[in-house]
Amino acid sequence: MFESLRARFFAKIDMSCAQKHRPARTVIVVFSMRSCLAVVLILAVAAQTFAGESLEQTIAYLTDYVAKSKTTFIRNGAEHTPAEAAAHIQAKYRHFKGEIKTPEDFIRLSASKSLLTGQPYLVRTADGKETRLDVWLTNALKEHRANRDE
């Protein structure tokens, strides 16, 4: 039965090609390329669907993590509230959005250091310990990914 269907399929292609003055192989190659393209597109959509969290979602998580923290943020020697720090990081994100492709890019470009002075941003936790903001956020990102992948 399969051979019969196959023979009819190729007979139609041969007849179509003869009418258009094209070799049958050209049609088969074009048909195969279209099939491959369709499969690639379907796989790309499926990969995006199942890839998990988007870049925007991860950045929103990190910004929210800053805003809801019980810490003091230090930028160019001045102390800032978590809400002020989150707003500043979001403003820098909007500035660098075209260059940010990963959460690590976001941290490096938006939450690591002052563009004016080059001084690193710091975070002071409730116990008084000061840490660079990029290190603190990278640790938060690692923890977030570990919890998400469980």
Chunked into runs of 10 residues, the chain (150 residues) has average pLDDT values of: 60 59 56 58 49 89 97 97 98 96 97 96 96 98 90
Residue with tokens 């890839």: 51
CB atoms within 10 A of CB 134: 19
Show the tokens assigned to 85.
């720090």
Helix, strand, coil distribution of the chain in percent, nearest 5 = 65, 10, 25
Query: How many C-beta neighbours within 10 Å does residue 4 have?
Result: 8
DSSP element (H, E) containing 6: helix 2-20
Domain boundaries, the chain: 2-50, 55-148
CB 128 within 8 A of CB 98: no
Q: What is residue 46's predicted lDDT score, i.e. its pLDDT?
A: 47
What are the angstrom distances between the C-alpha of 3 and each of 29, 32, 101? 20, 19, 50
What pLDDT does 149 receive? 79
DSSP 8-state secondary structure symbol assigned to residue 120: B
